[in-house]
Amino acid sequence: MSQSNASIFATAARIGLLSAVLSLACLQVAVADDEDVITYRQLIMKQLDSESAALGMIVSGQIPPDSLALQAKATANSARSALKAFEPKVLGGESKPEVWSKWADFSKRMEVFAKNTAEMAKVSETGNVAKVTELMIDALPCKECHDLYRTKKK
Amino acid sequence: MSQSNASIFATAARIGLLSAVLSLACLQVAVADDEDVITYRQLIMKQLDSESAALGMIVSGQIPPDSLALQAKATANSARSALKAFEPKVLGGESKPEVWSKWADFSKRMEVFAKNTAEMAKVSETGNVAKVTELMIDALPCKECHDLYRTKKK
């Protein structure tokens, strides 16, 4: 395929994708279906997993701290998205039913998580790796919450 | 294990983790080793993958747009981190050697990617899903860049 054909093809593909996305947006109702809700919250948790692992590599000194603030902010953003993602009461995925039967406790933990990561993100702007490391311990209580609210992986 | 024992255990575990992380931070030199560089950039790309997929679910109407701005910003942040993550010339992972032999082209594409996603993130604050959708097509040229610079998955 020549360069210009390839370019026309790429443009056509983009227009096709845009049309498809816009059609979907028009056809869908505002309420997400159950499978989408589960897929979406799993994406948010995956994103948190990568973000906190990358942040861990920075604070442990494996990677120079150029992106300290970007990664800390990413984690804080996702913590905020995570609470939203669990609001629809849709059982399934790796979530235990206790997420919703003990919603007061679960949502409080998620609020604290969002608040502490936001605090950590704020401090990260100063470039103080040691302080971010210290805050990170409390800001990322992943295991505690997973032990209570996530089914064990097979 | 009683509640208070569990709590003491959790605190001890945290202190242990903090010490381990701080020791690592002190022992490590500022330059990352090759394996760490590869792991880190793979984490950033994974994070982009989840973030853009979650954003796609929002713009396609599968998920209500409560987190539109958070997800758009997350994608923009990671695009910025991604360019940084590829700066060290460390061949390996799924990156083709062309990333570094054609660095001028690669880095220009990554700059455009970071710039366009930043623009999209800015617009997302208005809550205009249609406009974000439109910008997203140009802001996320994942396939074009992967076709050129990523080895095919086996």
Torsion over CA of B91, B93, B98 and B102, rounded to 10 degrees?
-70
Per-residue pLDDT, B141: 86
Based on the number of CB atoms within 10 Å of its own CB, is B109 exposed (0-12), middle (13-18) or buried (19 or more)? middle
Residue B154, min C-alpha distance to chain A (Å): 22
Alpha-carbon distance B105 to B118, whole Å? Answer: 20
Report residue B18 CA to chain centroid gap. 25
Per-residue pLDDT, A29: 43
Low-confidence ranges of chain A (pLDDT < 70): 1-32, 154
- When CB atoms are compared, the residue of B32, B44, B62 closest to A54 is B44
Q: What is the mean pLDDT of residues B104-124?
A: 96
Q: What is the mean pLDDT of residues B144-148?
A: 93
Checking if the pLDDT of B42 tops 70, the result is yes
Q: What is the mean pLDDT of chain B?
A: 85
This prediction has a pTM of 0.77
Per-residue pLDDT, B77: 92
Is the distance from CB of A99 to CB of A106 less than 8 angstroms? yes
Nearest Cα neighbor of B9 from A143, A106, A134, A96 is A143
Which is it for the CA torsion B33, B38, B39, B43, positive or negative? positive
List residues bridging with B92 in a β-sheet. B95
Per-residue pLDDT, A113: 95
Backbone φ and ψ for A141, nearest 5 degrees, come out as -85, 50
Per-residue pLDDT, B139: 87
Q: What is the mean pLDDT of residues B28-49?
A: 85
Per-residue pLDDT, A141: 86
- When CB atoms are compared, the residue of B43, B71, B138 closest to A50 is B43
Q: What is the mean pLDDT of residues B135-147?
A: 90
Cβ under 8 Å to A: B residues 74-113? 74, 77-78, 80-81, 84-85
Checking if the pLDDT of B5 tops 90, the result is no
Residue A18, min C-alpha distance to chain B (Å): 7
**Cβ contact B63–A32 (<8 Å):** yes
User: Tokens for A94?
Assistant: 């790796």
**Cβ contact B74–A71 (<8 Å):** no
Backbone φ and ψ for A95, nearest 5 degrees, come out as -75, 135
pLDDT in tens, B48-104: 999 999 999 999 999 999 999 999 999 999 999 999 999 999 999 999 999 999 999
Q: Does A117 touch chain B (CB under 8 A)?
A: no
Is the distance from CB of A80 to CB of A51 less than 8 angstroms? no
Report the share of chain B in percent with pLDDT over 70: 79
Per-residue pLDDT, A17: 59
Backbone φ and ψ for A94, nearest 5 degrees, come out as -100, 5
A12 backbone φψ class: left, alpha, beta (φ>0; ψ -120 to 50): alpha
